[in-house]
């Protein structure tokens, strides 16, 4: 059962990027379009517009790629390992000029991410400490983001609070 599940999971993860055709990637950055969209007679105003647009675009994309901690720090049981697959939806301002000019396609009002992560609970004499890492993929794009993290919890669980 476990082998079948892992085989199906690996097939889905490997087949998902190959399903899309060339030209279907609407969330790939196109910074040349972003640069050329703000041609202004005043060079300082054009630079300010480009910088602001770039900052807004990268800020919203950073929120989409940000880590999503779905569980508190814990030792994770007998083997101390956990494998997780997560799906996230992040709202964006798809009608803004920086989305229209900064990506290859037309942006919707949200972006979707699919992630996979591995967590390892550590045996240190601490209540709850774990490390982990993973990979997040932005659908309809060529963008991947690896991430690593460490979590520490002062009290693992809330039923056995030492008073």
State residue 20's pLDDT score. Answer: 47
Q: What is the pTM of this model?
A: 0.68
Q: Which helix (H) or strand (E) holds 148?
A: strand 144-153
* 34 band by pLDDT with thresholds 50, 70 and 90: confident
pLDDT per residue as tens digits for the range 67-124: 777 776 676 666 778 888 999 999 999 888 888 888 887 888 899 999 999 988 887 7
Higher pLDDT, 127 or 60: 60
Helix (H, G, I), strand (E, B) or coil at 115: strand
Higher pLDDT, 46 or 53: 53
State residue 116's pLDDT score. Answer: 93
Neighbours of 44 (CB within 10 A): 8
Residue for token digits 């956990």? 82
Phi, psi angle pair for 55, to nearest 5°: -60, -45
State residue 31's pLDDT score. Answer: 77
Neighbours of 156 (CB within 10 A): 15
**Which among 38, 41, 46 has a CA at the least distance from the CA of 102?**
38
Give residue limits of the domains in the chain: 24-153
């Amino acid at each position: 059962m476990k082998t079948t599940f892992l085989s199906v999971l690996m097939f889905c993860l490997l087949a998902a990027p190959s399903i899309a055709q060339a030209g279907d990637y609407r969330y790939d950055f196109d910074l040349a379009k972003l640069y050329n969209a703000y041609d202004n007679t005043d060079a300082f105003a054009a630079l300010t517009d480009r910088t602001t647009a770039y900052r807004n675009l990268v800020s919203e994309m950073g929120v989409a790629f940000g880590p999503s901690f779905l569980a508190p720090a814990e030792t994770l049981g007998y083997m101390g390992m956990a494998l997780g697959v997560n799906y996230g939806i992040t709202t964006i301002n798809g009608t803004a000029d920086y989305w229209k000019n900064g990506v290859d396609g037309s942006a919707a009002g949200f972006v979707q991410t699919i992630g996979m992560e591995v967590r390892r609970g550590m045996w240190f004499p601490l209540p709850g400490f774990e490390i982990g890492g993973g990979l997040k993929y932005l659908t309809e794009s060529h963008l991947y983001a690896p991430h690593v993290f460490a979590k520490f919890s002062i009290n693992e669980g809330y039923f056995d609070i030492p008073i």
